[in-house]
């Protein structure tokens, strides 16, 4: 079994503050890996180190087989990324956005054309293809955003709270897209704070104060912590001191 992501004691300090404290984990190829944690637990910092936006302080990590210290250029070519902030250009049309992102990943014109037609059909955006992104509903934008993030067929896609602010039905549709991509062999690394979503993941890690406190399948976690739902697991882990005292 080869790994899409391997991290060993990966650490990031900002001055005296340790944002990410020696985290060790690996993600298998084609896996849907949930990366949970309360706000400020260090999720975003960890992702930024993995995608090459932030240089780690110490430890080791490989993404798609490339070193995060020295081979960030190779990493960038192998991954897709969708951030919390919405990543399409509001003043470009659906078609133009696909064209642009295909272009910066170096896809050929021909390839972009087929991809565009395929995507527009798949997302049922035929009528909206030449509309500005700004005029689309949020749910559509997010689905399109994800599709654009995997347009260049990356090995791994990082999703940073991709479903913020949309209704349950749209979220469900969004997760169908994620399953499809995973079925095609794309590794999914996703952060979320919707605990029901974490049940959709193959494995879940939970970060507390810069450390990974738990890492298992959702079922395994629920057993270990004798909880009914992932929500309970999360509460027990994120506030253990308060519970014990």
Task: Name the segment binding other proteins (CB under 8 A); options: 100-108, 122-130, 163-171, 201-209.
Answer: 100-108
Task: Indicate which single residue of 2, 39, 70, 106 sits in contact with other proteins (rule: CB under 8 A).
Answer: 106
Q: Does 226 bind other proteins (CB under 8 A)?
A: no
Q: What is the DSSP string of 52-88?
A: TSS--SEEEEEETTEETTT-HHHHHHHEEEE-SS--S
For the CB of residue 205, give the shortest distance to other proteins in the complex, in Å: 21
The residue with tokens 């003043």 is 91
Q: Give the H/E segment covering residue 191.
A: strand 187-191
Task: Name the segment binding other proteins (CB under 8 A); options: 19-27, 88-96, 188-196, 221-229.
Answer: 88-96
Task: Indicate which single residue of 73, 110, 127, 244 sits in contact with other proteins (rule: CB under 8 A).
Answer: 73
State the Cα angle at 123 between 101 and 120, rounded to 5°.
55
CA distance 54 to 50: 8
Task: Name the segment binding other proteins (CB under 8 A); options: 85-93, 173-181, 203-211, 219-227.
Answer: 85-93
Q: Does 69 bind other proteins (CB under 8 A)?
A: no
Q: Does 161 bind other proteins (CB under 8 A)?
A: no
Task: Indicate which single residue of 34, 37, 42, 52 sits in contact with other proteins (rule: CB under 8 A).
Answer: 52
Q: Does 225 bind other proteins (CB under 8 A)?
A: no
Site for other proteins (CB under 8 A): how many residues? 29
Q: Does 1 bind other proteins (CB under 8 A)?
A: no
Listed residue (20, 24, 12) closest to 56, CA to CA: 12
Helices vs strands, H then E, count in the chain? 10, 10
The residue with tokens 């984990």 is 25
The residue with tokens 């997302």 is 123
Task: Name the segment binding other proteins (CB under 8 A); options: 1-9, 35-43, 75-83, 233-241.
Answer: 75-83
Listed residue (82, 42, 46) closest to 162, CA to CA: 82
Q: Does 55 bind other proteins (CB under 8 A)?
A: yes
Q: CB–CB of 43/55 below 8 Å?
A: no
Q: Does 15 bind other proteins (CB under 8 A)?
A: no
For the CB of residue 115, give the shortest distance to other proteins in the complex, in Å: 14
Q: For helices 138-149 and 94-104, what crossing angle results, to 10°?
A: 20
- Residues in contact with other proteins by CB under 8 A are 48, 51-55, 73, 76-77, 79, 81, 83-92, 96, 99-101, 103-106
């Amino acid at each position: 079994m080869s790994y899409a992501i391997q991290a060993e004691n990966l650490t990031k300090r900002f001055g005296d503050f340790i944002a990410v404290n020696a985290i060790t984990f690996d993600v298998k190829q084609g896996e849907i890996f949930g990366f949970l944690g309360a706000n400020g637990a260090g999720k975003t910092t960890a992702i930024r180190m993995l995608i090459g936006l932030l240089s780690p302080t110490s430890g080791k990590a490989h993404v798609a087989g490339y070193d995060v210290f020295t081979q960030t250029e190779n990493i960038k070519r192998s991954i897709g990324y969708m951030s919390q902030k919405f990543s399409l250009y509001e003043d470009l049309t659906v078609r133009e956005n696909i064209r642009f992102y295909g272009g910066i990943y170096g896809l050929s014109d021909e390839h972009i054309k087929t991809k565009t037609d395929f995507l527009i059909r798949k997302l049922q955006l035929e009528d909206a293809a030449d509309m500005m992104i700004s005029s689309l509903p949020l749910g559509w934008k997010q689905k399109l955003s994800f599709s654009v993030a995997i347009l260049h067929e990356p090995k791994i896609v990082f999703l940073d709270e991709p479903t913020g602010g949309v209704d349950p039905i749209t979220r469900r549709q969004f997760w169908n897209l994620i399953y499809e991509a995973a079925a095609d062999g794309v590794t999914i690394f996703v952060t979320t704070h919707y605990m029901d979503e974490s049940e959709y993941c193959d494995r879940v890690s939970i970060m507390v104060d810069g450390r990974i406190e738990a890492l298992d399948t959702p079922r395994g976690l629920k057993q270990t912590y004798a909880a009914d739902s992932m929500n309970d697991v999360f509460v027990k882990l994120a506030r253990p001191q308060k519970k014990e005292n």
